[in-house]
């Protein structure tokens, strides 16, 4: 098959949405582009993953462990962290460290930063994966809506705090796990955080995921010539994870046979983390390829709104890199 024909089929899958996001998409692309398994030796590299105790994060951790990486795993549940830590050691990671933290709180995000800085002299990859879809409005003790706090503000706190360590590590990169759900929401800097009166859990999640992609571009634009890291956002497609089962049970019942495995959802995370050197920064990825950030003309993002959101987040977190 020619590269042109493979590209046309890939584009058709992407246009269809369901054909792209489902397990059909990754299976087709694996064959279209003759993917090779990721086999990069990551011995000596240090990778931090948030949301590492289940779903996409756990699957990514296990695959990276199999490549020999040293891992720092962040999650809420001490029990689940212990289980994934043991599994990662069995998979081949020579060093696994766990940090229990509730990233709905910025103070907990800062504690993660402090703990990492004490114990590490390098950081090769930072993977932001933490965050759940919740259907009821929850305001944190620090005064923010929970989804926005965990998936936007705490990510900024951690990236800012660990930036010097990333900059000191050649070839480092930051990877944000977003969601295809973000395609349904337009970026508006003053509407990312929901209030209690109009709260919609699905839309709050999608807006946070849209914000992640916009902020990823801001990070890249503000560090165009290095030093490292490079910045990448991706989405895993539709994967059968505990989060989907808990938060979107009807969606799972309807699409169950077509959902990706967590390992398939994590493939692009691992691919980005293990690449010799990402050639671009600030892009959005699915299935090892750059993807558009806008599918619907009324649900996009522009640089003005993204820059305004950057200022809002810097002000709310008290961190400006």
- Round to whole Å and give the CA distance between 43 and 62: 14
Catalytic (active site) residue 137? no
C-beta separation of 213 from 233 below 8 A:
yes
Rounded alpha-carbon distances, angstroms, from residue 316 to 54, 132, 159: 29, 21, 15
Name the nearest CA neighbour of 293 among 154, 148, 186, 197.
186
Catalytic residue among 137, 183, 199, 205: 205
C-beta separation of 206 from 179 below 8 A:
yes
List of E strands, the chain: 46-50, 70-75, 96-100, 125-128, 173-177, 230-234, 283-286, 289-290
Q: Is 274 exposed, middle or buried (0-12, 13-18, 19+ CB in 10 A)?
A: buried
The two three-digit tokens of residue 203, written as one number: 């839309």
Task: Return the C-alpha torsion angle 132, 237, 222, 104, nearest 10.
Answer: 0
DSSP 3-state assignment of 153? Answer: helix
Residue with the two structure tokens 């070839």: 171
Task: Return the C-alpha torsion angle 41, 174, 49, 306, nearest 10.
Answer: -160
C-beta separation of 6 from 32 below 8 A:
yes
β pairing state of 70-75 and 173-177: unpaired
C-beta separation of 289 from 14 below 8 A:
no
β pairing state of 70-75 and 125-128: unpaired
DSSP 3-state assignment of 130? Answer: coil
| Catalytic residue list | 205
């Amino acid at each position: 098959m020619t590269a042109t024909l493979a590209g046309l089929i890939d584009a058709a899958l992407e246009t269809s949405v369901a054909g792209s996001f489902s397990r059909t998409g990754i299976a087709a692309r694996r064959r279209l582009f003759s993917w090779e398994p990721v086999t990069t030796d990551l011995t000596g590299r240090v990778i931090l993953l948030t949301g590492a105790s289940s779903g996409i994060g756990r699957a990514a951790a296990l695959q990276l462990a199999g490549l020999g990486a040293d891992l720092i795993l962040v999650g809420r549940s001490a029990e689940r962290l212990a289980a994934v830590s043991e599994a990662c050691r069995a998979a081949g990671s020579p060093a696994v460290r766990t940090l229990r933290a509730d990233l709905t709180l910025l103070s907990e995000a800062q504690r993660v930063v402090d703990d990492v800085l004490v114990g590490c002299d390098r950081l090769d990859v930072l993977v932001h994966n933490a965050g759940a879809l919740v259907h009821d409005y929850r305001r944190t003790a620090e005064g923010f809506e929970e989804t926005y706090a965990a998936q936007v503000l705490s990510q900024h706190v951690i990236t800012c705090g660990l930036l010097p360590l990333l900059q000191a590590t050649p070839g480092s990169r930051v990877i944000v796990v977003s969601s295809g759900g973000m395609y349904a929401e337009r970026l508006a800097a003053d509407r990312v955080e929901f209030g209690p009166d109009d709260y919609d859990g699905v839309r709050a999640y999608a807006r946070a995921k849209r914000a992640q992609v916009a902020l990823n571009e801001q990070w890249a634009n503000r560090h165009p010539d290095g030093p490292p890291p490079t910045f990448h956002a991706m989405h895993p497609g539709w994967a059968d994870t505990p989060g989907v089962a808990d938060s979107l049970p009807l969606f799972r019942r309807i699409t169950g046979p077509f959902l990706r495995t967590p390992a398939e959802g994590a493939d692009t995370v691992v691919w980005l983390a293990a690449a010799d050197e990402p050639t671009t920064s600030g892009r959005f990825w699915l299935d090892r390829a750059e993807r558009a950030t806008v599918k619907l003309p009324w649900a996009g993002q522009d640089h003005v709104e993204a820059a305004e959101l950057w200022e809002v987040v810097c002000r709310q977190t008290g961190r400006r890199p």
